[in-house]
């Protein structure tokens, strides 16, 4: 330490760090781009079996491939794509800066830097991706979108490709659509038993509207696909309009929305109504025209499923009315609204028990001495939660009552290990707010009640808000409190 202080002429403060953190820091600050690339290529076999199965313009791929068919570029891209799929990444980012090229994966909702290839490889890498996705390699001034279907080993995987001109070159993002990882069982994502029953009841109706709401990346499409998979029978005609079509579902007529040629959600919906549908799924209700037609379809004997970008289930009602849809139509058409978020799970390999301190509880807006009853929990919600607690949390969950004080509750967090790459978090979990339409709620909607009034009534009728569902996941040892606070409002 004295030597470092002498050389740097700075005060040195020693800190404790785990082996994994140290190794990551050394790799990040001392390894060159070439060394990182060599390490990745060593991990992934040189003969990684990658084959382009489908492209919109195969002639362009064949003509242009020779331009970027240099061994280092091909090997590196094959290795990166194989590694990303192996690690369960949802997206791969290639970013160009003045003096470096950066590759990052999005895993469990968080971006992680993987490597910095040599800057000289930038033109070849970008061109290779654009050719694989049938994009114009000469056009660097405007964004472009394409799709690649690859066979990696024995798996067939779709990649959605997007390019964007930036100050120092084009940024490329690949969304990985691995149908093998598509989970259509909401129970595995953590929906509470009562909420799941209410959702199943709502989609079992032959008509009406079910809306899923939440921000981009919160799992709305997966929830809709899961609902469709439950009702996809030989005796029903299911039509979907999507932008884009993320996964192909057998037995369902899926339509790609293309606004540039006039095939909007509204146009698709009008066409669907002439196709003798039983069930209609719209990727999103974006405007009054689409919303109005969807409401009418739900009122005339069709089951309509769709999404909206709102923060909560009650706010969805007011959003529809703000669009210009009459309150009595909203009240009559709606069966159920489901709001959702995705939070990261505590790593099961390094989870440890601890008690929340006053600062954590204050950050979650929980007053001192508050109990589960004060947070508006019901006996039914608590009993449902006890049935799905993790093995570690089960002993103290069984002893919980509505009068247990929040500061007395033990919870869990990850210490960090190799399996979770030092983060203490691994995997993702859904938070759900399910608002079923009851006579009382329909009456409030008819009276143009505000979101706060609708929410208060829904809680009295048994609804768990996103924050309340998050608390249950914290108590069950599934997710840490800071994840719930970040993704939900009190």
Written as tens digits, the pLDDT of the chain (490 aa) is 677 766 777 778 888 877 667 766 766 666 555 565 566 556 655 545 667 665 544 444 444 444 455 578 888 898 899 999 988 899 999 999 998 899 999 998 889 999 898 888 899 999 999 999 999 999 999 999 998 988 888 888 999 999 999 999 999 999 998 877 777 777 778 888 888 899 999 999 999 999 999 998 898 999 999 999 999 999 999 999 998 888 888 999 999 999 889 999 999 999 999 999 999 999 999 899 999 999 999 999 999 999 999 999 999 999 999 999 999 999 999 999 999 999 999 998 999 988 888 888 888 889 888 998 888 888 877 877 777 676 777 777 788 888 988 888 888 889 888 888 888 999 999 999 999 999 999 999 999 999 999 999 999 998 999 999 999 889 888 999 999 999 998 7
What distance separates the 2 farthest-apart alpha carbons in the chain? 81
Structure tokens at 436: 């079923």
Euclidean distance between CA atoms 155 and 84, whole angstroms: 13
The answer to whether 468 touches 372, Cβ cutoff 8 Å, is no
My answer on whether 39 and 110 are in the same domain is yes
What whole-number distance in Å separates Cα of residue 433 and Cα of residue 476? 17
> Of 178, 201, 220, at which residue does a domain stop?
178
Is residue 170 domain-shared with residue 190, that is, in the same domain?
no
Point out the domain boundary residue: 178, 213, 230: 178
Q: Is residue 212 part of a domain?
A: yes
> What is the secondary structure of 114-132 as a DSSP string?
EE---GGGHHHHHHHHHHH
Is 349 contained in some domain? no
Q: Are 214 and 286 part of one and the same domain?
A: yes
Residue pair 276/237 in contact (Cβ under 8 Å)? The answer is yes
- pTM value > 0.95: no
Give the number of other Cβ atoms within 10 Å of residue 278's Cβ. 16
CATH number at residue 140: 3.30.450.90
Quote the pLDDT of residue 34. 59
Flag whether 383 is in a domain. no
Query: Tokens at residue 169, please?
Result: 């070159």
Q: Who's near 89: CB < 8 A, 6+ residues apart?
A: 105, 106, 107, 176
Angle at 89 between CA 87 and CA 93, to 5 degrees: 125
- Beta-bridge partner residues of 405: 371
- Residue ending a domain, choose from 147, 178, 209: 178
Q: Is position 252 within any domain? A: yes
Q: Could you tell me if 227 and 325 lie in one domain?
A: yes
Contact by Cβ (8 Å): 198, 434: yes
In terms of residue numbers, what domain contains 314?
186-344+426-487
Coil, strand or helix at 306:
strand
Helix, strand and coil content of the chain, in percent to the nearest 5, comes to 40, 25, 35
Nearest one of 345, 362, 473, 466 to 407, comparing CA atoms: 362
Strand extents, DSSP E, 10-116: 50-54, 91-96, 101-107, 110-115
Per-residue confidence (pLDDT) for residue 30, from 0 to 100 = 62
Same domain, 202 and 126: no
Are 196 and 329 in the same domain?
A: yes
Residue 190 CB coordination number (10 Å): 22
- The Cα 298–Cα 304 span in angstroms is 6
Are 101 and 232 members of one domain?
Answer: no
144 by DSSP, 3-state: which?
strand
Q: State whether the Cα torsion 289-291-294-295 is positive or negative.
A: negative
Strand partners, 352: 413
Same domain, 67 and 196: no
**Closest alpha carbon to 198 in 388, 36, 337:** 337
How many domains does the chain fold into?
A: 2
Question: To 10 degrees, what angle do helices 58-65 and 122-132 make?
Answer: 150
Token code pair at residue 377: 């929990």
Residue 163 belongs to some domain of the structure: yes
Can you list the positions of beta strands (E) in 224-382? 238-242, 253-256, 279-282, 303-308, 334-346, 351-355
Number of neighbouring beta carbons within 10 Å of residue 20: 16
Cα gap 475→406, rounded to integer Å: 10
Whether 67 and 117 share a structural domain: yes
In terms of Cβ atoms closer than 10 Å to its own Cβ (0-12, 13-18, 19+), residue 315 is buried
Coil/strand/helix, residue 53:
strand
Query: What residues contact 13, with CB distance under 8 A and at least 6 apart?
Result: none
Shared domain check, 212 and 128 = no
Residue 280 lies in a domain: yes
Alpha helices in 185-287 (DSSP H): 193-204, 220-231, 265-272
3-state secondary structure (DSSP) of residue 229? helix
Q: Are residues 150 and 76 in the same domain?
A: yes
Residue of 452, 218, 203 lying closest to 337 (CA atoms): 203
| Domain assignment of residue 409, yes or no | no
Query: Which tokens go with 322?
Result: 């703000």
CATH of the domain at 278: 3.40.50.300
Give me the pLDDT at residue 60, please.
Answer: 46
Q: How far is CA 356 from CA 360, 388, 408, 458, in A?
A: 6, 22, 8, 29
Distances (CA, A) of 461 to 172, 265, 367: 47, 34, 24
350 part of a folded domain = no
Other beta carbons within 10 Å of 156: 15
End-to-end CA distance of the chain: 47
Same structural domain, 231 and 126: no
């Amino acid at each position: 330490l004295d030597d470092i202080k002498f050389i740097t002429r700075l005060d040195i403060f020693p800190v404790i760090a785990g082996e994994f953190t140290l190794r990551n820091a050394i790799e990040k600050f001392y390894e060159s781009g070439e060394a990182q690339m060599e390490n990745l290529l060593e991990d992934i076999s040189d003969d990684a079996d990658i084959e382009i199965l489908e492209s919109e313009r195969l002639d362009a791929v064949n003509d242009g491939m020779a331009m970027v068919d240099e061994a280092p570029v091909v090997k590196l891209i094959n290795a990166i794509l194989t590694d990303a799929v192996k690690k369960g990444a949802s997206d791969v980012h290639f970013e160009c800066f003045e003096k470096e090229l950066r590759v990052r994966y999005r895993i469990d909702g968080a971006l992680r830097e993987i490597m910095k290839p040599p800057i000289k490889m930038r033109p070849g890498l970008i061109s290779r991706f654009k050719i694989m996705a049938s994009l114009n390699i000469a056009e660097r001034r405007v964004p472009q979108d394409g799709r690649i279907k690859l066979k990696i080993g024995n798996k067939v995987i779709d990649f959605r490709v997007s390019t964007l001109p930036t100050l120092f070159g084009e940024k490329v993002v690949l969304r990985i659509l691995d149908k093998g990882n598509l989970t259509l069982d909401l129970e595995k994502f953590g929906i509470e038993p009562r909420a799941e029953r209410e959702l199943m009841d709502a989609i079992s109706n032959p008509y009406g509207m079910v809306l899923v709401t939440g921000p981009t990346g919160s799992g709305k499409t997966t929830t809709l696909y899961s609902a469709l998979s439950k009702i996809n029978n030989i005796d029903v005609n299911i039509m979907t309009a999507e932008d884009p079509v993320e996964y192909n579902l057998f037995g369902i007529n899926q339509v790609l929305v293309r606004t540039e040629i006039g095939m909007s959600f509204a146009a698709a919906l009008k066409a669907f109504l002439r196709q003798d549908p039983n069930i209609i799924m719209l990727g999103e209700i974006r405007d009054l025209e689409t919303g109005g037609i969807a409401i009418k379809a739900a009122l005339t004997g069709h089951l309509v499923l769709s999404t909206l970008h709102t923060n909560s289930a009650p706010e969805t009602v007011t959003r529809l009315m703000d669009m210009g849809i009459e309150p009595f139509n909203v009240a009559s058409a709606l069966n159920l609204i489901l709001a959702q978020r995705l939070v990261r799970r505590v790593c099961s390999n390094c989870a440890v028990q601890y008690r929340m301190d006053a600062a954590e509880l204050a950050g979650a807006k929980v007053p001192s001495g508050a109990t589960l009853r004060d947070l508006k929990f019901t006996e039914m919600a608590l009993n449902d939660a006890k049935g799905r607690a993790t093995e570690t949390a089960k002993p103290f969950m069984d002893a919980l009552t509505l009068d247990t004080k929040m500061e007395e509750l033990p919870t869990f967090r990850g210490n960090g290990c190799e399996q979770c790459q030092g983060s203490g978090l691994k995997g993702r979990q859904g938070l759900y707010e399910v608002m079923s339409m009851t006579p009382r709620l329909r009456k409030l909607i008819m009276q143009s009640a505000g979101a706060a009034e609708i929410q208060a009534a829904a809680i009295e009728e048994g609804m768990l808000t996103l924050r309340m569902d998050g608390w249950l996941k914290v108590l069950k040892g599934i997710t840490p409190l800071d994840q719930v606070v970040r993704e939900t409002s009190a």
